[in-house]
Structure 1
Amino acid sequence: MTHLMIRGAARVRSFLERPGAGRSERGATAVEYALMLGLVAIVIIASVTILGRNLSTLFRAAAVSL
Structure 2
Amino acid sequence: MQKIIAQAKDFVRDENGITALEYGLLAGLITVLLIASMKIIGTGLQTVFQDVASAV
TM norm structure 2:
0.76
Structure with the bigger RCO (C-alpha within 8 Å, sep 6+) is 1
Number of residues of Structure 1 aligned to a counterpart in Structure 2: 52
Moved beyond 4 Å, runs of 4+: none
Alignment of 1:1-66 (within 5 A): 17=6, 20-22=9-11, 23-66=13-56
Gaps of 5+ in 2: none
Greater helix fraction, Structure 1 or Structure 2: 2
Percent identity of paired positions between Structure 1 and Structure 2: 37
> What RMSD over aligned residues (CA atoms) do the two structures have, in Å?
2.2
CA distance in 2 between counterparts of 1:41 and 1:59 reads 26
